[in-house]
Amino acid sequence: MDRPTWAPAGVDMERPSAARVYDYWLGGSHNFAADRMLAEQALRLVPDMPEITRANRAFLRRAVRYCLDQGIRQFLDLGSGIPTVGNVHEVAQQVAPETRVVYVDSDPVAVAHSRALLEGNDLTGVVHADATRVDDVLGAPQARRLLDPDQPLAVLMVALLHFVPDSADPAGMIARYRAAGAHGSHLVISHGTDVTGPDMGRAAVKELYERSTTPLCLREPADVTALFAGYELVEPGVVYLPQWRPEETDRPEPNPERFGMLAGVGRTP
């Protein structure tokens, strides 16, 4: 039976959550036995997982800095997860203290934790919503309070869209978020892909995710590029995670496809 939208979902600690598994791989302790069990199972299949998550986190940091350099001062972080070190507002407000950030997640625990962490920071807000329900997100009081539709907006979909199946119309969803900001808005995407690598464990990871609250939907590079419809891709386009505008002091990654994650940033013309 379908739950009516006004009837709440329960909080089930027995099922692993993608946000807490991610936190575990990043070395955090915001997780529970069920999360760690899934994380460790995944690690046996893809031992690089912590490195991949760190690289994803580093990409987020570089992308936010890039947007700040482009003059963006408001961010919408969809699927923000458990606030670990280097949150968007930390990175952004370090550079531009006036930057406003709205975090969005459907995981009630991640949301509760985010709220606790951000208490007192008036320039940030946390929305408990499913990112695919654009009206719920943009219509939330925190989003309406903090986001100015007349200013360019950076919409972050970092490690988010591989949890959004085609049946949920990610392109339509992106288009509606695109309309939420003024000219010069940005879209930041990192996305799991399965076309490369000898890494046969990925399918197994995908299967693992099926058991979590958030199943996995990997996409090919062309499909990820297509998600930027309506945006102009900034250099270097859609590339593997470490290849997107690395810091000059970063050691060059000889085998970037082993990360299995694509990244890109687009800008509305």
Which positions lie near other proteins, rule CB under 8 A?
Answer: 6-11, 13, 20, 26-32, 50-51, 53-54, 57, 61, 82, 84-86, 90-91, 108-113, 115-117, 247, 249-251
Please say which residue, 90 or 220, places its beta carbon nearer to other proteins. 90
Q: How far is the CB of 49 from other proteins (least distance, A)?
A: 12
Q: Which residues of 120-154 are buried (b: 16+ CB within 10 A; e: fewer)?
A: eeebbbbbbbebbebebbbebebbeebbeeebbbb
Q: Which residues pair with 77 in a beta bridge?
A: 103, 156
Q: How many CB atoms lie within 10 A of CB 206?
A: 17
| Residue closer to other proteins (CB basis): 223 or 257 | 257
Nearer to other proteins, 111 or 134 (CB): 111
The least CB distance from residue 250 to other proteins, in Å, is: 5
Which of 185/212 has CB closer to other proteins?
212
Closest distance to other proteins from the beta carbon of 128 (Å): 8
- The whole-angstrom separation of Cα 163 and Cα 79 is 10
In sequence order, which residues have a C-beta less than 8 Å from that of residue 120 and are 6 or more positions away? none
CB of 133 to other proteins, least distance (A): 17
